[in-house]
Chain A
Amino acid sequence: MKAFLILEDGTVFSGQHIGADRDIISEIVFNTSMAGYPEVLTDPSYAGQAVCMTYPLIGNYGVCREDMESKRAWPDGFIVRELSRTASNFRKDITIQEFLTGQNIPGISGIDTRALTKILREKGTMNGMITTSENYDLTSILPQLKQYKTGRVVEKVTCSHKYEIKGAANLSQNGPLSGSARFVPEDYAAGKREMRPSLVRNLNGAGKRIALLDFGAKDNIAGSLAQRGCDVTVYPAFTKAEEIIADRPDGIMLSNGPGDPKECTQIIAEIRKLYDTEIPVFAICLGHQLMALATGADTFKMKYGHRGGNHPVKDLETGRVYISSQNHGYVVDTDRMDPAVARPAFVNVNDGTNEGLIYTGKNIFTVQFHPEACPGPQDSGYLFDRFIAMIRKKSLITSGSATVKGEKDA
């Protein structure tokens, strides 16, 4: 079946329909990761957006449930150059086609995704429609697209109830430490799936209790903490600060999530209360932006955002550059930040935008990128160890000599 992608600026791409059979209007964004489409599709931060993959061959290895970063897929639509008709990987559960249909996600394939990317790069992120109707009428659709606004997306993606994830009791629960992970089909069938090697080499978080505020958290945030031995309690986004504080967590983790951070006024107010306690806080992506807003800074929307697994970020304390996984359309405005409150900790090497903050006199540090990876490079996973170290010392994070290697030897 034919499908069309109609952009707010009047551009129309025609291709083949994929996935669920329904029309959608959404904000169109692009992601430059070459692998990891199942993780992208299940990242709640994509709620309210339709994702175009710049890598042209998608679906090559199907979808494996253990790669999902949440219970379901979130994007409104999926845009690809080509969907593989064969899915080949030993872990594959279903094909990408089955997954999209099963998750009720419509999409379009066979379009010039590079041309689309260039439009978004030059004109900025814009709204679009994916439709299978050949008789679309631009005069009525374009005003509709211009008016369209997603909103209150955090509400949609956050969990409904508080729940707990137990920390790993020993390292073997993390999978083996090197590439000697053998595949035992019987174990796999029995649901024992964590077969992949782990980068985590010690349980430095054993016994620590972490409160994770779920604004649309990717599973591997809790996973990264649990792998290090932490017990994680996940709270719905709109939980009152008092409730969290009353549970006396050792540390608080603010998750990633979708949408415009300034819309989250209620949450920002609660975060301000958390800021005022002495509990160590580590925040990622939306969490990072919300903490900045809670402490008087501003955020703005970027022209077309950062979405991919190849962005270099520089740790300003050590001068080291790490390749990071990114997914954000908004960024903290450091020009209008009170240096007495926070100072930049990470900066994007390409465009100089802020990638992290350290809060003065507080046990708080926040990053714009995704140390939990999935998809993308695992280079900055050491930040979870830094968070745990901070909890342990409950003092200012000192200039980290922490490196990926150093952390592993620790």
Chain B
Amino acid sequence: MPKNPNVKRVMVIGSGPIVIGQAAEFDYAGTQACRSLKEEGVEVILVNSNPATIMTDKNIADKVYIEPLTARVLEQIIEKEKPDSILPTLGGQAGLNLGMELEESGFLASHNVRLLGTSAMTIRKAEDRQAFKDTMEKIGEPCAASTVVESVEEGVAFAGTIGYPVVLRPAYTLGGSGGGIAHNQAELESILENGLRLSRVGQVLVERCIAGWKEIEYEVMRDSAGNCITVCNMENIDPVGVHTGDSIVVAPSQTLGDKEYQMLRSAALNIINELEITGGCNVQFALHPTSFEYCVIEVNPRVSRSSALASKATGYPIAKVAAKIALGYTLDEIRNAITGKTYASFEPTLDYCVVKLPRLPFDKFITAKRTLTTQMKATGEVMSICDNFEGALMKAIRSLEQHVDCLLSYDFSALSSEELKMRLKKVDDQRIYVIAEALRKGMDYDTIHEITMIDHWFIDKIAILVEMEQALVKGPLTVELLKEAKRIEFPDNVIARLTGMTEEEIKKLRYENGIVAAYKMVDTCAAEFEAATPYYYSVYGSENEASVTTPAKKVLVLGSGPIRIGQGIEFDYCSVHATWAFSRAGYETIIVNNNPETVSTDFDIADKLYFEPLTSEDVESIVNLEKPDGAVVQFGGQTAIKLTESLMKMGVPILGTKAEDVDAAEDRELFDRILEQTQIPRAAGGTVYTAQEAKEVANRLGYPVLVRPSYVLGGQGMQIAISDEEIEEFMNIINRIAQDHPILVDKYLQGKEIEVDAVCDGQDILIPGIMEHIERTGVHSGDSISVYPAPTISDTVKEKIAEYTRRLAKALHVKGLINIQFIAIGEEVYVIEVNPRSSRTVPYISKVTGIPIVDLATEVIIGKTIRELGYEPGLQPEADYFAIKMPVFSFEKIRGAEISLGPEMKSTGECLGIARTFNEALYKAFLGAGVDLPRHKQMIITVKDADKGEAVEIGRRFEKLGYTIYATRSTAAALREAGVKARKVNKISQESPTVMDLILGHRIDLVIDTPTQGRDKSRDGFLIRRTAIETGVNCITAMDTARALVTSLENANDEFTLIDVASI
């Protein structure tokens, strides 16, 4: 069937801010789909509140609205832009829910807008638990015994009939929010109550527990003619019970025979045929480990995280094909872009093995529970490809960048066999390391399998890795042994550690014996057809295929690895734009990255893609083969920056800012010298290695002080300390991981925090705009609300900032991007830190100023000057609208995480509010972040003494808005004294009703709770904040944020000014 000619203007809904369960994969899918639609001559109107995405670029869509994703906003955009169709299946669960809301309200019909792709009826059938179960029953596909409940009582009654444990899944939530396994009635009541509240429709599925079964997924495509194929199947190494997003996943399935494989494949096709899905779809099965019994777990009638993984694992562009299907094409009409010879109706077949590992945020939230459940906790993931499973697992481990490089990286050697058995029962991110230790201690496969239910085959693979460790320790290191160790991807440094040799010696031995990495192509067809797309992975002991090369200059662009708090999608945005800019300038571009969720690892972004770990050894293997003319590290976040030194040792020129200048910005002493030369003030401070030294510096400066490790992103480990005890505590935490670099201790200055991104060509600088943070210093810049143009600082301060930026950029010989954070106290400006590289705010400031600074930086790196690029150097004129970047958190997903804001970054994503006035922009930013108030107009204020003055002012304004204020004893007294009505509420330790009962009563909109110093989480404040977050109550921990919120509510409005960002 050819393309539907009536589809001319399509509105695509994005997925909004990055949160756990809905991450960069939707930028990847959305970007690919938009490009695919434009390729067909369709006009694309894009709506997404997330400014860090590539899909919101003007070269991706024709009209771009970075607006809050609410039905009301979408309605207004539809009224303005008059699209003939909308495509909601590419924006994750958020996009799908919105599309459904518009459909159900009749808005789409009344505005003659058709829903493209899968129909609303299908979406309902797949998403509504009961409807889905009924459909499955009709076609004879089994589901686990279950029922949908709308109250806790119903749930308890049903669980009584099927027996515990039971699994709880709220309807219409993403990443399994609010779900879990209940082993008894008390657990059931607690999880169910929470789940009912989080569900968009107040429904929770209670089902038979099938934990321990194999979890198998199929990615399926179906067109409107009913043709269907499976793109890929995947097996979770962690059996049912761990969310697939948190599981170790392997593609294709490894332990299924053809009978089981085809049984589930046929079932997946039956299901999507019955549901009449048009586009991509993910079907999850639980397969009994010792029978053919299976259950359908769930169906996602849209592209998903798993489909992004399947796309990267096979080379089959699911989102692109889904977009073409939505336009009316059938699978046999869509050419396979990888081979150029076959069609989209050809099922990919793999001749390699793919392993995905989740990137879990427990290094950020050290108080959080590491346990993995049906509630997803990972912020991102890494994927690796190899021709054997062991190698793929080893590569994935070192791709994580969590100080792990082999199965010995977490040390459980102190545990006895009995203790190990107990430890194996704990399902967490360290389980494979525990299994490895159990095998080292001689535990048999059956015992390990009985406890973990992990298949023997995977246990055996871990055993092979353990045996190699032992063989290397025992020695001697023969050439044969080294070959085998490299075949299963032991990195040189691990071999060195185990053999007692140096890494250099291992490398030398390898080179002397020709043991080097070869590269194989991902081609969707196991080499059956010649492929046109150079998408490579490394193997040892095979023939190299990566040989095609052009006479053009080659540039290596290093990606940013897995999405994590502090290093998110923004750096992928920068890498992709830099790649495109180099490509336009005639370079052959080579991307190295390992993140399957991103645009940078799409097959047609760079001329060559190496899907590899970002370690110096892995990069060196690529360098040896490609011999690039240069490498850029300034766009790939800290991951790429960390590789600078190794790249220089390999003889690869670093394009742009030199490595020694990057060092000068990070090295305390060098940087102090530069500040002295350039006469720029900064907070006094010193560098230390030990707690003792830290205390000495702190006492010399006077408390409070800021303590942080150098060379980190996202302020990891950064804390404000007010006492010697806290210094001890923080230094302990920082030094849990051996530090290569000194720790910085600075005097803490309180003032307005200002941030600047600039391009420097060595002579001139270009500052697109100055951003001011709403929260005063002390809150990490990534967690602050950021406003452009800076609303409250004077012109003198602005001039000083521009001047300091110019001086610093010149002194550091910056060529390319530089990011600087300042503190403004009155008319004084101090520098906090300088990063001679791209930053988190680059996509945001580029979009709202219309100045493509990554492109400019790349041109500058190649040799152009700012003037040659048509820009007048210096601070650019301010826009006549406000653009406010709002951080978004995923605290509800991570049990036990402390939510109060501080110098260490905690947000997972961001959204934008853009409007003619500051107040409207602020309101939109809050709305985009999901703060949709007022609802019940009741709030709780409980603040530390220092904040009581501000609490009065803010309380008064909330009171005027009609809010009833509850406050704990001393806060209530302060409010009353100032004439603000406040109802006193008991502390948790006092008799009921307490502040906790109030929150649990679901009648509270908002909690303002500023934490008292110290990190003792047993304090009331911690409990209040956690309870609020877990029951869906907005919780604010900084007075500045609270003031911004009340300002936004005072200016709440249902009619928005809509700004097409593509026209800026």
**Neighbouring A residues of B254 by C-beta, 8 Å:** 57, 60
**Neighbouring A residues of B270 by C-beta, 8 Å:** 404-405, 408
Contact B257 A36 (CB under 8 A): yes
> B388 near A: Cβ within 8 Å?
yes
Q: How far is the CB of A71 from chain B (nearest CB, A)?
A: 19
Known: A33-B258, A64-B257, A378-B262. A54 touches B543 (CB 8 A): no
> A375 near B: Cβ within 8 Å?
yes
Contact A181 B353 (CB under 8 A): no
Contact B226 A89 (CB under 8 A): no
Contact B142 A180 (CB under 8 A): yes
Contact B273 A56 (CB under 8 A): no
Bound Cα distance from A404 to B543, whole angstroms: 43
Contact A114 B520 (CB under 8 A): yes
Please classify how large the interface on chain B is, using the bins under 10, 10 to 19, 20 to 34, 35 or more. Answer: 35 or more
**Neighbouring B residues of A82 by C-beta, 8 Å:** 387-388
> A321 near B: Cβ within 8 Å?
yes
Contact A179 B258 (CB under 8 A): no
The residues in B between 345 and 394 inclusive whose CB is less than 8 angstroms from any CB of A are 345-353, 387-389
Choose one: B351, B464, B541; the contact of A54 (CB below 8 Å): B351
Contact A374 B258 (CB under 8 A): yes
Contact A57 B526 (CB under 8 A): no
Contact B527 A121 (CB under 8 A): yes
Q: How far is the CB of A324 from chain B (nearest CB, A)?
A: 10
Among the 9-residue stretches A202-210, A238-246, A255-263, A311-319, the one with 4 or more Cβ atoms under 8 Å from chain B is A311-319
Interface string of B241-276 (1 = CB under 8 A from A): 000000000001111111111111111011001100
Contact A55 B351 (CB under 8 A): yes
**Neighbouring A residues of B455 by C-beta, 8 Å:** 88
Closest chain A residue to B464, Cβ basis: A85
Tell me the dominant secondary structure on chain A's binding face.
loop
Closest chain A residue to B458, Cβ basis: A88
Contact B258 A112 (CB under 8 A): no
Bound Cα distance from A347 to B437, whole angstroms: 55
Q: How far is the CB of B388 from chain A (nearest CB, A)?
A: 6
Known: A85-B460, A320-B227. A57 touches B389 (CB 8 A): yes
> A104 near B: Cβ within 8 Å?
no
Bound Cα distance from A88 to B463, whole angstroms: 14
The residues in B between 476 and 514 inclusive whose CB is less than 8 angstroms from any CB of A are none
Among the 9-residue stretches B285-293, B399-407, B828-836, B917-925, the one with 4 or more Cβ atoms under 8 Å from chain A is B285-293
The residues in B between 320 and 356 inclusive whose CB is less than 8 angstroms from any CB of A are 330-332, 341-343, 345-353
Contact A178 B142 (CB under 8 A): yes
**Neighbouring A residues of B528 by C-beta, 8 Å:** 30, 32, 54, 117, 121, 308
The residues in A between 312 and 347 inclusive whose CB is less than 8 angstroms from any CB of B are 312, 314, 319-323
Bound Cα distance from A77 to B426, whole angstroms: 46
Contact B350 A34 (CB under 8 A): yes
> B295 near A: Cβ within 8 Å?
yes
Bound Cα distance from A181 to B527, whole angstroms: 37
Interface string of A330-367 (1 = CB under 8 A from B): 00000000000000000001100000000000000000
> B229 near A: Cβ within 8 Å?
yes
Closest chain A residue to B264, Cβ basis: A179
Contact A67 B345 (CB under 8 A): no
> A297 near B: Cβ within 8 Å?
no
> B140 near A: Cβ within 8 Å?
yes
> B81 near A: Cβ within 8 Å?
no
**Neighbouring A residues of B255 by C-beta, 8 Å:** 60-61, 88-89
Q: How far is the CB of B389 from chain A (nearest CB, A)?
A: 7
Closest chain B residue to A13, Cβ basis: B543
> A214 near B: Cβ within 8 Å?
no
Choose one: A34, A113, A183, A379; the contact of B252 (CB below 8 Å): A34
Q: How far is the CB of B351 from chain A (nearest CB, A)?
A: 4
Closest chain B residue to A307, Cβ basis: B528
> B225 near A: Cβ within 8 Å?
yes
Bound Cα distance from A377 to B460, whole angstroms: 29
> A94 near B: Cβ within 8 Å?
no
Choose one: A117, A196, A312, A405; the contact of B332 (CB below 8 Å): A312
> A129 near B: Cβ within 8 Å?
no
Contact A199 B266 (CB under 8 A): yes
> B678 near A: Cβ within 8 Å?
no
Contact A67 B259 (CB under 8 A): yes
Q: How far is the CB of A259 from chain B (nearest CB, A)?
A: 22
Contact B351 A181 (CB under 8 A): no
Choose one: B262, B330, B332, B351; the contact of A377 (CB below 8 Å): B262
Known: A86-B456, A404-B269. A195 touches B291 (CB 8 A): yes
Contact B227 A56 (CB under 8 A): no
Contact B258 A67 (CB under 8 A): yes
Bound Cα distance from A84 to B21, whole angstroms: 35
Interface string of A83-96 (1 = CB under 8 A from B): 01110111100000
> A182 near B: Cβ within 8 Å?
yes
Contact B292 A61 (CB under 8 A): no
Bound Cα distance from A319 to B332, whole angstroms: 10
> A146 near B: Cβ within 8 Å?
no
Known: A34-B252, A36-B258, A56-B352. A312 touches B460 (CB 8 A): no
Closest chain B residue to A86, Cβ basis: B460
Contact A182 B262 (CB under 8 A): no
Q: How far is the CB of A210 from chain B (nearest CB, A)?
A: 24
> A39 near B: Cβ within 8 Å?
yes
Contact A312 B345 (CB under 8 A): yes
Closest chain B residue to A310, Cβ basis: B347
> B84 near A: Cβ within 8 Å?
no
Known: A81-B387, A85-B460. A350 touches B341 (CB 8 A): yes
Q: How far is the CB of B508 from chain A (nearest CB, A)?
A: 25
Contact A181 B291 (CB under 8 A): yes
**Neighbouring B residues of A54 by C-beta, 8 Å:** 349, 351, 526-528
**Neighbouring B residues of A374 by C-beta, 8 Å:** 258
Contact A350 B460 (CB under 8 A): no
Known: A39-B258, A88-B455, A374-B258. A113 touches B351 (CB 8 A): yes
> B542 near A: Cβ within 8 Å?
yes
Q: How far is the CB of A280 from chain B (nearest CB, A)?
A: 27
Contact A178 B258 (CB under 8 A): no
Closest chain A residue to B460, Cβ basis: A86
**Neighbouring A residues of B464 by C-beta, 8 Å:** 85
Contact A55 B526 (CB under 8 A): yes
**Neighbouring B residues of A157 by C-beta, 8 Å:** none
Contact A179 B542 (CB under 8 A): no
> B525 near A: Cβ within 8 Å?
yes
Closest chain A residue to B331, Cβ basis: A321
Q: How far is the CB of A139 from chain B (nearest CB, A)?
A: 25
Contact A35 B257 (CB under 8 A): yes
> B40 near A: Cβ within 8 Å?
no
Contact B229 A323 (CB under 8 A): yes
> B529 near A: Cβ within 8 Å?
yes
**Neighbouring A residues of B290 by C-beta, 8 Å:** 90, 183
Closest chain A residue to B267, Cβ basis: A179
Choose one: B140, B273, B291; the contact of A183 (CB below 8 Å): B291
Bound Cα distance from A182 to B293, whole angstroms: 6
Contact A61 B226 (CB under 8 A): no
Interface string of A179-218 (1 = CB under 8 A from B): 1111100000000000111010000000000000000000
Contact A323 B140 (CB under 8 A): no
> B141 near A: Cβ within 8 Å?
yes
Contact A312 B257 (CB under 8 A): no
Q: How far is the CB of B967 from chain A (nearest CB, A)?
A: 57
Contact A60 B262 (CB under 8 A): no
The residues in A between 25 and 41 inclusive whose CB is less than 8 angstroms from any CB of B are 30, 32-36, 38-39
With A81-B388, A115-B542, A179-B293 already in contact, 10 other A-B pairs whose C-beta atoms are closer than 8 Å: A34-B252, A35-B253, A38-B257, A85-B460, A181-B293, A183-B290, A349-B346, A377-B266, A403-B273, A404-B269
Closest 5 CB pairs of A and B: A183-B291, A36-B258, A179-B294, A310-B347, A181-B292
User: Could you name 6 residue pairs across A and B whose Cβ atoms are closer than 8 Å?
Assistant: A56-B351, A178-B141, A179-B142, A182-B293, A321-B227, A378-B265
Chain A residues proximal to chain B, CB less than 8 Å: 30, 32-36, 38-39, 54-57, 60-61, 64, 67, 81-82, 84-86, 88-91, 112-115, 117-118, 121, 175, 177-183, 195-197, 199, 308-312, 314, 319-323, 349-350, 373-379, 403-405, 408
